[in-house]
């Protein structure tokens, strides 16, 4: 985790250094005197060596300092901490839709391998990973908000506002969960312990639930963790379309105005959330699968 954090901050630092334009000019008003510019440059440490600048950057990050927006002059960290809970709410809502439905459909698909149900579910899951979220979001909005007028088209708020963006965001994750569940269930079905269970006369439902699904769920949990990245990726587009006041829309506004501290702040925070979720998944793994504990040292 620590080397990874060092690497991630190094990448965001390099991207920040590579940004066009001098950050000092972004902070001072027009027609500032050369002395003021020089003073700010000293404060930023722009006259020191790159290594010292990186050290300064990491120190600032450790204090929770991501710089100030070029346009509003508000602290990026303060803005992000306001918008972060909204994005998490959206991501969890999307996960609540994607995980159960994805596992269920993947299971049905595997149990009916080669039949019509499997073909239809497979085709839908390929479509799910191929349709861009900003388009499926617009279509859902057109249908449910603008034509049928069931739900509000945009805004941040309760469940009525949450439903459409969460559904949109869940589609790609849902589709890839279906694919992974299908493959792992097909693998587990062939295992000798399933044959044993069948041989000792267990009911087909009992085999499915206790033996197959329980074992198939283990890789699926990893994918649920990895899909968190796709929620963060998709959040930029989905939140923009539905006017959901989260990190994604904040990043989008930063992109339009070329507000670099905002963009880099969102990239860094998004990545830290992503690796934290995956670390959490690894820990959960450790508890639910005794094989990982035994083989952990070999990996």
Partner 1 sequence: MALSGRISAVVIVTVFVLSLISPLIVPYDPDAIDLDSLRQPPSFRHFMGTDNKGRDILARILYGGKISISIAVTASIISILIGISAGMLSGYAGGAIDTVVMAVVDLVLSFPAFLLAIGISVIFPPGIYTVMLALCAVGWASFARLIRGQVLSLKEAAFIEAARALGCSSLRVVLVHLIPQCIPLALVMAGLRAGGYILTEAGLSFLGLGAQPPTATWGSMISANRVFINSSPWMVLFPGTMIAVTAICFNLLGDALKEKFDVRT
Q: Do 172 and 133 touch, CB atoms closer than 8 A? A: yes
For residues 270 and 8, the answer to whether their CB atoms sit within 8 Å is no
Residue 15 C-beta: closest distance to partner 1, Å: 5
Distance, C-alpha 20 to centroid of its chain? 28
| Shortest distance in whole angstroms from residue 138 CB to partner 1 | 6
What is the distance between the alpha carbons of residues 194 and 254, in angstroms, rounded to a whole number?
53
Smallest gap from residue 266 Cβ to partner 1 (A): 7
CB of 127 to partner 1, least distance (A): 6
Question: Residue 39 or residue 245: which is nearer to partner 1 going by CB?
Answer: 245
Of 68 and 249, the one with the shorter C-beta distance to partner 1 is 249
Contacts of 87 (CB under 8 A, 6+ apart): 232, 235, 239, 246, 247, 248
Q: Which is nearer to partner 1, 65 or 253 (CB)?
A: 253
What are phi and psi for residue 36, nearest 5 degrees?
-65, -45
Q: Which is nearer to partner 1, 149 or 291 (CB)?
A: 149
Residue 95 contacts residue 173 (beta carbons within 8 Å)? yes
**Segments of the chain assigned E as strands:** none
Return the number of the residue (99 or 227) whose C-beta is nearest partner 1: 227
CB 239 within 8 A of CB 246: yes
- Looking at beta carbons only, is 97 or 241 nearer to partner 1? 241
Q: How far is the CB of 252 from partner 1 (least distance, A)?
A: 6
**Where do contacts with partner 1 occur on this chain (CB under 8 A)?**
3-4, 7-8, 11-12, 15, 18-20, 126-127, 129-132, 134-135, 138-139, 141-142, 146-147, 229-230, 232-234, 236-237, 240-241, 251-252, 255-256, 258, 260, 263-264, 266-267, 270-271, 274-275
Q: CA 279, CA 277: separation in Å to the nearest integer?
A: 5
Least Å from the CB of residue 143 to partner 1:
10
Closest to 37 (Cα-Cα) out of 48, 50, 23, 51: 23
Of residues 208 and 271, the one with the C-beta less far from partner 1? 271
- Residue 207 CB, shortest distance to partner 1, in Å, is 25
Residue 138 burial class via C-beta count within 10 angstroms: exposed 0-12, middle 13-18, buried 19 and up: middle
Alpha carbons 141 and 144: distance in angstroms, whole number: 5
């Amino acid at each position: 985790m620590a080397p990874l954090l060092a690497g991630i901050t190094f990448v965001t630092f390099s991207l920040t250094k590579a940004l066009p334009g001098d950050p000092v000019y972004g902070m001072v008003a027009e027609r500032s005197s050369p002395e003021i510019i020089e003073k700010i440059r000293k404060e930023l440490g722009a006259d020191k060596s790159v290594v010292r600048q990186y050290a300064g950057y990491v120190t600032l990050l450790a204090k929770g300092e991501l710089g100030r927006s070029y346009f509003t002059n508000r602290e990026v960290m303060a803005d992000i901490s306001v918008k972060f809970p909204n994005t998490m709410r959206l991501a969890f809502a999307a996960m609540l839709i994607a995980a159960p439905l994805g596992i269920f459909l993947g299971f049905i698909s595997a149990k009916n391998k080669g039949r019509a149900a499997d073909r239809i579910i497979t085709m839908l899951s390929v479509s799910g990973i191929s349709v861009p979220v900003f388009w499926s979001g617009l279509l859902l909005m057109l249908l449910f908000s603008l034509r049928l007028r069931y739900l509000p088209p945009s805004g941040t708020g309760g469940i009525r506002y949450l439903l459409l963006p969460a559904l949109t965001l869940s589609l790609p994750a849902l589709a890839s969960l279906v694919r992974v569940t299908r493959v792992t269930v097909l693998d587990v079905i062939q295992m000798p312990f399933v044959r044993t269970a069948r041989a000792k006369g267990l009911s087909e439902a009992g085999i499915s639930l206790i033996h197959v699904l329980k074992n198939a769920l283990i890789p699926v949990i990893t994918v649920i963790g990895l899909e968190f990245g796709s929620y963060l990726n998709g959040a930029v587009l989905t939140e923009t379309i539905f006017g959901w006041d989260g990190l994604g829309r904040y990043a989008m506004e930063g992109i339009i105005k070329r507000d670099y501290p905002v963009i880099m702040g969102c990239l860094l925070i998004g990545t830290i959330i992503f690796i934290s979720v995956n670390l959490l998944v690894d820990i959960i793994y450790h508890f639910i699968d005794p094989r990982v504990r035994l083989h952990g040292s070999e990996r």
